[in-house]
């Protein structure tokens, strides 16, 4: 069986975890966490990076930082994971879903402004498959309407838009280091702060609402409870595992892009004949090889292809069920405008195996079976 995913592994993870244990500090904000944050901060050229237990936690922190309150509205695509919506719903917000673009599967930037009301507080673009949303247009709307922008860049580590890395394009960015992502520590995430005014509050939020970081820096003689917060620190053991991968960030990124190109080339003939569609990458976007998907005619074709691949030892899967059609989506949100692409395109998409350890030979086998299915 060729699985859909295997967590990335470089060989240094065990050594670094043992090293972290020997330091005697395995809670958050240790040596390895500092290495990871420094690497990401310098790579993204941003103000501050903080590791979190997951991207979900980073999104939740974002909702607190931009002061989402009961009755506020947040605009986002329906084609995303529940965490994007939950983070704001937990603060009392109503979610306003907008349709996606057929080509990139990202939120249609042309539909955002029409979804803005007097209650709108923020826009949460989701960079699907590590391909950027059209952030110039989204940021322009936010500036015009005095809104905050929180990037869900869970899939976008090392991807860029017009030369700027995802996560560093707006007020706040959020990364995921879940085991399905390009770089992983099992769970894990990061919050990227591109506005210095958020830094002190973010430190308080991550330390259960205390000014503990000020105490460690010697700025106060004791720390105490000063605001709301939670336990948003990533364990040092997780950070040690993550550092082994960030050390080889470019190597992993280059390999994934190479695999993506192998898929794209091997399936080009099927795409040219109109039997499938392959991913579209705008010229001003640099993707990270996070995902390779194809689109087939309809959900029936997809179901048959999934079954055929499974019979041949290949695990391929579909993706999100649109949030606006879910019970919670109907309760906590509403769809603005018409659902032209979201449901239709979500039923056509099929994600193929993609992970750091996937071999060229396995990709050849997978694409051969796909061509075989279509009689090519």
CA distance 31 to 87: 29
Residues 110 and 198 in one domain: yes
Residue that is last in its domain, among 246, 278, 306: 246
Q: Which of 57, 74, 152, 128 is nearest to 279 (CA)?
A: 128
Residues 120 and 164 in one domain: yes
Residues 267 and 197 in one domain: no
Residues 169 and 31 in one domain: yes
Instruction: Establish if 5 belongs to a structural domain.
Output: no
Q: What is the pLDDT of residues 183-216, one digit of tens each?
A: 999 999 999 999 999 999 999 999 999 999 898 8
Q: Kindly report the number of other CB atoms within 10 A of residue 255's CB atom.
A: 17
> Which CATH number does the domain housing residue 230 bear?
3.40.640.10
Domain that holds residue 314: 249-373
Residues 47 and 135 in one domain: yes
Residues 32 and 115 in one domain: yes
Please tell me the pTM assigned to this model.
0.96
Query: Do 37 and 85 touch, CB atoms closer than 8 A?
Result: no
Residues 38 and 143 in one domain: yes
Instruction: Establish if 69 belongs to a structural domain.
Output: yes
Residue that is last in its domain, among 246, 275, 298: 246
If one counts the domains in the chain, the total is: 2
Residues 258 and 181 in one domain: no
Sequence-separated (6 or more) residues with CB below 8 Å from residue 53: 187, 188, 189, 231, 232, 233, 234, 235, 238
Instruction: Establish if 6 belongs to a structural domain.
Output: no
Residues 293 and 226 in one domain: no
- Dig out the tokens for 125 from the structure: 């673009």
Displacement of CA 169 from its chain's centroid (Å): 14
Instruction: Establish if 34 belongs to a structural domain.
Output: yes
Which residues are registered as beta bridge partners of 129?
none
Instruction: Establish if 287 belongs to a structural domain.
Output: yes
- Dig out the tokens for 50 from the structure: 């903080």
Instruction: Establish if 39 belongs to a structural domain.
Output: yes
- Dig out the tokens for 42 from the structure: 């310098």
CA distance 73 to 116: 8
Query: Do 17 and 241 touch, CB atoms closer than 8 A?
Result: yes
Spans of the chain, pLDDT less than 50: none
Q: Kindly report the number of other CB atoms within 10 A of residue 22's CB atom.
A: 9
Q: Give residue 216's pLDDT.
A: 86
The sign of the torsion formed by the CA atoms of 342, 344, 347, 351 equals: negative
CA distance 198 to 206: 12
Half-sphere exposure of 215 (CA within 13 A, CB side): 11
Q: Which residue has 């240094």 as its token pair?
A: 12
- Dig out the tokens for 8 from the structure: 């990335």
CA distance 179 to 364: 24
Residues 229 and 326 in one domain: no
Burial degree of 45 (CB within 10 A; 0-12, 13-18, 19+): exposed
Query: Do 83 and 174 touch, CB atoms closer than 8 A?
Result: no
Q: Give residue 376's pLDDT.
A: 79
Q: Which residue has 């193929």 as its token pair?
A: 352
Q: Give residue 236's pLDDT.
A: 98
Residues 233 and 262 in one domain: no
Could you give the angle at which helices 360-373 and 299-311 cross, rounded to 10 degrees?
A: 130
Residues 270 and 237 in one domain: no
> Which CATH number does the domain housing residue 293 bear?
3.90.1150.10
Query: Do 129 and 135 touch, CB atoms closer than 8 A?
Result: no
Instruction: Establish if 125 belongs to a structural domain.
Output: yes
Instruction: Establish if 187 belongs to a structural domain.
Output: yes
Residue that is last in its domain, among 197, 215, 246: 246
């Amino acid at each position: 069986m060729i699985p859909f995913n295997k967590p990335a592994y470089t060989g240094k993870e065990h050594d670094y975890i043992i090293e972290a244990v020997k330091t005697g500090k395995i809670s958050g904000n240790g040596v390895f966490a500092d290495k990871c944050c420094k690497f990401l901060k310098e790579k993204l050229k941003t103000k501050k990076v903080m590791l979190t237990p997951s991207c979900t936690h980073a999104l939740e922190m974002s909702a607190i930082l931009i002061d989402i309150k009961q009755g506020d509205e947040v605009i986002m695509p329906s084609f995303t994971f529940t965490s994007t919506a939950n983070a704001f719903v937990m603060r009392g917000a109503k979610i306003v879903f907008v349709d996606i673009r057929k080509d990139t599967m990202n939120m249609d930037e042309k539909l955002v402004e029409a979804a803005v009301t007097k209650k709108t507080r923020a826009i949460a673009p989701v960079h699907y498959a590590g391909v950027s949303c059209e952030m110039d247009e989204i940021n322009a709307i936010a500036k015009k309407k005095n809104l905050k922008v929180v990037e869900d860049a869970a899939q976008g580590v090392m991807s860029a838009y017009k030369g700027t890395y995802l996560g560093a394009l707006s007020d706040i960015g959020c990364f995921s280091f879940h085991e399905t992502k390009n770089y992983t520590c099992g769970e894990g995430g990061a919050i990227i702060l591109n506005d210095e005014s958020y830094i002190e509050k973010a430190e308080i939020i991550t330390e259960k609402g205390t000014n503990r970081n000020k105490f460690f820096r010697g700025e106060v003689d004791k720390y105490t409870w000063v605001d709301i917060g939670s336990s948003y620190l990533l364990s040092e053991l997780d950070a040690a595992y993550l550092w082994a991968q960030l050390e080889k960030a470019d190597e992993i990124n280059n390999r994934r892009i190479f695999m993506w190109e192998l898929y794209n080339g091997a399936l080009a003939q099927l795409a040219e004949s109109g039997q499938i569609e392959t991913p579209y990458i705008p010229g001003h976007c640099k993707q990270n090889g996070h995902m390779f998907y194809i689109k087939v005619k309809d959900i029936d074709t997809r179901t048959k292809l999934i079954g055929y691949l499974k019979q041949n030892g290949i695990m391929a899967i579909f993706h999100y069920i649109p949030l606006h059609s879910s019970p919670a989506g109907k309760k906590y949100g509403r769809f603005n405008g018409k659902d032209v692409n979201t449901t239709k395109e979500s039923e056509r998409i099929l994600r193929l195996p993609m992970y750091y350890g996937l071999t060229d030979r396995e990709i050849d086998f997978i694409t051969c079976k796909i061509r075989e299915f279509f009689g090519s």
